[in-house]
Amino acid sequence: MSDASIPPSPNEVADLKAQVKLLERQLKRQKIARANAEWFLESYSSDAYSATQALRKALHESKKRERELIFLNRSASHLKTSDSGASFIFSAIESAVEFSDAFCGLAFITKAGKVVQGDDNKIWQVENGWVEASDLAKVMLDELPLSVKEDYSQWCVNIVERPDNHEEAYVLHFMQNLGNGEQAWLALLTKNSELDEEMLYVLDANKHYLQFGIGYRSSKHEIKHHKAALSSMEKDQRYLQEKLITADKMAMLGQLAAGIAHEINNPIGYVRSNTSVAGDIFKDYQSALSEIKVLCEDAGGEIEARYLALENTYSLKDSAEAISEMFEESSEGIERIIDIVKALRGFSYPSGDKRVAINVAEAISSALRITNNLHKYKNKVIFTPPETDIEVLGNAGQIQQVLVNLLTNAIYATDEGKCIKFDVESLEGEAVITLQDEGKGMSEEVIGKMFTPFFTTKPPGDGTGLGMSISLTIIEEHGGQFEVTSEIDKGTTIKVRLPLA
């Protein structure tokens, strides 16, 4: 009889089964490790991209505020030193050309449609100063409606062809009445057919500067208004300085948060993977221990007695249950760390570009559904949708995040049986979302800190302290603002104001 016809022995079959089971466990662990590695790689790539975008945005905002600050300093200086109406008008066009990065500018004063001050054949260039350039001046002059008598409310824009290079460009022009039938005209010619948002901001500030200056020189009575305007500009200057410092700090904090998130992600990926694999292996040990117990009970006699003695000595059953609980608690702790890391990433990169019309009542109803398990057995939540739709323009996911954060905090602060009320109304071009609770209330000190990153009144483990700081960033990016009033032991009212769509 050949060896091939001899059936395998029970020991060989058992060895083969053990090897198959070992291979299955190894394959399962490899799959888990691979899934965790893919998760970590995806998270790392997302962090890298988001960090780059956040850094670019912070750098752009910092440069923009720096230019605005320099422009306000220059404008305030001109208002203090110029001794005639014409001088500050010409200084206005010089500043406008320099800070808007236009190709050249034109300025003069007319009366009854004729030039009375300035030269409508001379243009201003940053490199050359005032120079004769009749062809470029004519291109701008042809676009000015000199017969118009009413002030411009905004800069006007016309498309022209530059005579020097025959390329498309823009003429931006503005007129301000000086009184006594005189009008001040300012015009700029851009370098190409692109209009930068920063250019428009500078020109708008230039318009206000011109209006303030003209009002100051119109009569002695207007001097007080000029001082108020000058004081306002100085306040704007201080405000911009504070905003610049704050922006730099927040940019640094955002990068710090992103860095912390990245550094935590590295080890947590390994811990998450190893804990999951170790938990599966221990389940195999538990199964093996149960089978050994059954074998010993079947064998009976001294073998069963010795097993029971070992089980009593080392508390095998209790120890196994305790270790299983430890694995579960460790897994929960790891997932909580991952949630905190996600919150840190959200604080670092909260901006979203996709803006759509959002029905506020539907967003509130959705937030109530999301938090239903938190309040349905604890608080009475009241919300009556308005009769007409109220919509805001924004990122739907971010607005939802803010509403859930506010509602979650209200539920946490409000004792069982007490009420929470949501309301929304349209008021003076804004959607006003109001959340009132009958909770514990907050002191002035807590209200002052509630939007500070990592500040929380919750016990350790119940909150990250990032929810309200993220919410504030989201609402400000949507052009809105928070209003908070609170009284200890009586409750808190939070209003969120957002521009209507």
Residue type, 230: L
The strand ranges marked E within 41-80 are none
Distance CA(331)–CA(273), nearest Å, equals: 10
pLDDT of residue 64: 63
- List the Cα angle 90/95/101 in 5-degree steps: 125
Residue type, 388: T
- 122-125/419-427 β-pairing: unpaired
Given strand 491-499, what is the order of strands in its sheet? 380-383, 419-427, 430-437, 491-499, 481-487
What are the Cα distances from residue 440, in Å, to 57, 412, 498? 39, 10, 27
CB contact at 8 A, 434 and 482: no
Contacts of 227 (CB under 8 A, 6+ apart): none
The strand ranges marked E within 243-369 are 356-359
- List the Cα angle 68/69/70 in 5-degree steps: 95
Contacts of 392 (CB under 8 A, 6+ apart): 357, 358, 360, 399, 431, 478, 498, 499, 500, 501
Distance CA(69)–CA(80), nearest Å, equals: 17
pLDDT of residue 194: 80
- What's the residue count for the chain? 501
- 122-125/129-132 β-pairing: antiparallel
Pick the CATH number of 350-497 from 3.40.30.10, 3.50.50.60, 3.30.565.10, 3.30.70.260: 3.30.565.10
Distance CA(133)–CA(147), nearest Å, equals: 24
Distance CA(102)–CA(172), nearest Å, equals: 10
Structure letter (DSSP) for residue 143: T
Distance CA(226)–CA(205), nearest Å, equals: 16
Pick the CATH number of 68-194 from 2.30.29, 3.30.450, 2.60.40, 3.30.67: 3.30.450
Between helix 301-314 and helix 316-348 the angle, nearest 10°, is: 40
pLDDT in tens, the chain (501 residues): 455 567 778 777 777 877 888 888 888 878 887 877 777 777 767 766 776 776 777 666 666 666 666 666 666 665 555 555 567 788 888 888 888 888 999 999 998 888 888 887 899 998 889 999 999 999 999 999 988 888 887 889 999 999 988 999 999 999 988 878 888 899 999 988 887 766 777 777 777 767 766 665 555 445 566 666 667 667 766 665 665 555 555 555 555 666 666 677 778 777 888 888 888 888 888 888 888 888 888 888 888 888 888 888 888 888 888 888 888 888 877 876 776 666 555 545 544 556 789 999 988 988 888 787 788 888 889 999 998 999 999 888 788 888 988 998 899 889 888 999 999 999 988 999 999 999 999 998 888 888 877 777 777 656 666 778 888 888 988 899 999 999 999 999 999 999 998
Which residue from 173, 118, 172, 174 is spatially nearest to 151, judged by alpha carbons?
174
Strand partners, 343: none
68-194 and 350-497 agree in CATH topology: no
User: For residue 423, what is the enclosing H or E element?
Assistant: strand 419-427
Task: Delimit the domains of the chain by residue range.
Answer: 68-194, 250-345, 350-497
User: For residue 383, what is the enclosing H or E element?
Assistant: strand 380-383
Distance CA(114)–CA(116), nearest Å, equals: 6
Structure letter (DSSP) for residue 263: H
CB contact at 8 A, 443 and 488: yes
Which residue from 443, 445, 432 is spatially nearest to 481, judged by alpha carbons?
432
Distance CA(118)–CA(141), nearest Å, equals: 13
pLDDT of residue 169: 92
